[in-house]
Structure 1
Amino acid sequence: MGDLQCAARILVARHGAADYESELLSDAGGWLSPAGRLQSRDLADQLAGERIARVWTSDMSRAVQTGEIVAARLDVDVIVRTGLREFGVGDAAGTTGDPDPFAATFAAWLDGDLTARIPGGESGLEVVARYEAVLDEVADAHRGESVLVVSHGGVMCLVLPLLARNLAPDHTRELPLPNCGLVALEVDDDGWVARSWAGRALG
C-alpha cells in the first residue's frame, strides 16, 4: 500500500437480494430480484451525502448490478475486480446446501485457522490474500476520498474483521450482514479501522 497520510474512506456493501437459475449451489453470479433492485436504490440514497468518488464491485453479476444501480444514481463510474467475489463453493457445487457444507470451514476461519479449506475450493489464507489485495488497491487509488465497494456477505464477514484493528476476528459470528448491509472503514498509515457495521457505530 502506498502513502496514506490522507485517510481513505472505504464503504463496503453486500449486494442486493438475488435470484438464481437453480436452487443448487454454484459459483454462478445470479441476478438482482425486484427487492434487490429496490435495496440498491435505497443504498444509493443512503450514500448521497458521502461524495462517493467511484464504485468498485465483485465480478459476480448480482454485485455488478448492485454497483451499477448505485453508480448511476450517484453519477460515478464502476470498476470490476474478481478478487472481491464470494468464496467458491468447491466440491459442494450441484448440491442443495443442506446441511451447510461450509459451516465447519467458516467456523474454523473465524476461530483463526485460515489454513482450513473449503473442500475443493479456497483456503482462508487464499480468500484473505486476494480480497485484501483489492482493498489495498482501492485505498491507494482513493486517498482522501470516499468510495463504495460492492461485495458478498461471507467474504466480508471473514476478511473485514481481520483487517480492522478495532474488531475481533470473530466479530461477525453473531452479526451476519443483510443484503445491502454496509460496513464503513477508514485506512491511513496506521492501518484499517471499522467505523460502523450494518448501521451500528463502532468505537
Structure 2
Amino acid sequence: MGDLQCAARVFVARHGEAVYESELLSDAGGWLSPLGRDQARALAERLAPERISRVWTSDMARAVQTGEIVAAALGADVVVRTGLREFGVGDAAGTTGDPDPFAKTFAAWLDGDLAARIPGGESGEDVVERYAAVLDEIADAHRGESVLVVSHGGVMCMALSAVARNLALSHSRDRPMPNCGVVALEGDADGWVARSWADRPLS
C-alpha cells in the first residue's frame, strides 16, 4: 500500500445466494439465484449513501453478477480481480464435500497457522498474499473514496481477519458471513482497520 494521505473506505461483501451446475466441489461455476439477485439489489440500497466510486469483484460468476447488479444501481463501473476469489478446493475437486475436506486446514488458519495448506491447493499464506495485494491496489487507486469489493465467505473470514490490524485471526470462528454480509475496512499508510463485521460495528 502506498503512502495514503486519505483513508480508502472499502466495503467487502459476500456475493448473493448462488446455485450451481453440480453438487460436486469445483473452483468454477455458480450463478445468482432469484433470492441472490434480490440480495444484491438490497445491498445496493444499503450502500447508496456511501457514494461508491467503483465496484471490484472476484472473477467467479456469482461475485461478478452481484457486483454488476450493485454497480448498475449505483452508477459505478466494475473491475474484476482473480485475487479476490474463494480459496481453491485443491484435491477435493469433484468430491461431494461431505465430510468437509477444508475443516481441518481452515481451523488451523484461524488458530494462526497460515502455513497450513489445503491438500493440493493453497496455503493460508498464499491466500492472504493474493487477497491483500488486491486490497492494497484498491487503496492506492481510491484514496479518500469509498468502494465495494464483492468476494466470498470463506476467503473473507480468513483473509480479512489477517489483514485488519485490530482483528485476531480467530475473529470469524463464530461469526459466519451471510450472503451480501459486509465488512467495512479503512486503509491508510498504517494498514487496514475493520470498522464493522457482517454489518455489526466493531469497537
Scaled by the length of structure 2, the TM-score of the pair is 0.99
| SS of match in other structure, 2:49 | coil
Using the TM superposition, give the Cα deviation of residue 165 of structure 1 relative to its aligned residue in structure 2, in angstroms. Answer: 1.2
Matched, 1:8 2:16: no
| SS of match in other structure, 1:171 | helix
- CA deviations on 1:113-159 (whole Å, 9 max, x unpaired) are 11111011111111110010000000000000000000000000001
Using the TM superposition, give the Cα deviation of residue 29 of structure 1 relative to its aligned residue in structure 2, in angstroms. Answer: 2.8
For 1:5 and 1:167, the matched residues in 2 are separated by 23
| Counterpart code for 2:18 | A
| Counterpart code for 1:42 | A
Scaled by the length of structure 1, the TM-score of the pair is 0.99
Which residue is 1:51 aligned to?
51
Residues 162, 169 of structure 2: 8 Å contact kept: yes
Matched, 1:66 2:85: no
| Counterpart code for 1:24 | L
4+ aligned runs moved over 6 Å, structure 1: none
Residues 21, 29 of structure 2: 8 Å contact kept: no
Using the TM superposition, give the Cα deviation of residue 57 of structure 1 relative to its aligned residue in structure 2, in angstroms. Answer: 0.2
Q: RMSD in angstroms over aligned alpha carbons?
A: 0.6
| Counterpart code for 2:171 | H
| SS of match in other structure, 2:11 | strand
Which residue is 1:101 aligned to?
101
| SS of match in other structure, 1:36 | helix
Residues 195, 201 of structure 2: 8 Å contact kept: yes
Which residue is 1:140 aligned to?
140
Which residue is 2:165 aligned to?
165
For 2:174 and 2:116, the matched residues in 1 are separated by 20
Extract unaligned runs of 5+ from structure 2. Answer: none
Aligned residue pairs total 203
Using the TM superposition, give the Cα deviation of residue 102 of structure 1 relative to its aligned residue in structure 2, in angstroms. Answer: 0.1
Matched, 1:156 2:191: no
Which residue is 2:124 aligned to?
124
Matched, 1:26 2:65: no
